[in-house]
A and B are shown apart, each in its own frame.
Chain A
Amino acid sequence: QVQLQESGPGLVKPSETLSLTCSVSGGSVSTNYWNWIRQSPNKGLEWIGFIYDTGSTVYNPSLKSRVTISVDMSKNQFSLRLNSMTAADTAVYYCARGQQLGRYWGQGILVTVSS
């Protein structure tokens, strides 16, 4: 059974960089597609991007200038960095598996941007 678990800070200051990690069990990050998605009351569910083939990435054009997704195969984890955070980036952040998404999602982590 594949399981995903997000970790990282729940509070980030404006202009700082958010760093989140998704730990994967029951599957290898060296295969398949690994996504970040976020959800806010204002924007709903928003796909951030995915990483596949141990390092190829596709990002949402709306966030592309600020996003980096990377993978650490030694720890079976993948990560999200989102820079220049503003209040508009306050959301629940999810990691998920699959090129079209689907069954495997983490439980989500609430990230608040505030000074």
Chain B
Amino acid sequence: DIQMTQSPSSLSASVGDRVTITCRASHSIASYLNWYQQKPGKAPKVLIFAATNLQSGVPSRFSGSGSGTDFTLTISSLQPEDLATYYCQQGYSTPLTFGPGTKVDLK
């Protein structure tokens, strides 16, 4: 199985801050990496697919980068509605696997 790790596990930031979350795969996954946002009681919502592609309807303050084993999700200017838990997920091989999540809250 491909193991996914994320850092940090949680962070506190202010509105307007630039926020960066990193995700690492235990083996190369090329660009088969999705980023999700999840709010309490809701299903995960995809923000970025194939490592760098912004899902339609997602604000442009979200961006993704990376390939191989190291990936980054960036929120260029944190907004109150961005408070959530963020997960990475590899789609390179089965079993599909997820990172443990990064919880973002307000400082």
Contact = CB atoms under 8 A, between A and B. Distances in A.
B16 interface: no
A62 B101 CA distance: 21
Interface string B75-107: 000000000000101010011111011000000
B91 A99 contact: yes
A35 B96 CA distance: 10
A100 B43 contact: no
B95 A102 contact: no
A101 B95 contact: no
B49 A102 contact: yes
A44 B91 contact: no
Interface string B1-16: 1000000000000000
Contacts of A103: 46, 49, 55
21 contacts: A44-B101, A45-B87, A45-B98, A45-B101, A46-B98, A47-B95, A47-B96, A58-B94, A94-B43, A94-B44, A99-B91, A100-B32, A100-B34, A101-B34, A101-B91, A102-B34, A102-B91, A103-B46, A105-B43, A106-B43, A107-B43
Kindly list the 5 A-B residue pairs having the minimum CB-CB distance in the complex, ordered from nearest.
A100-B91, A45-B98, A47-B96, A60-B95, A105-B43
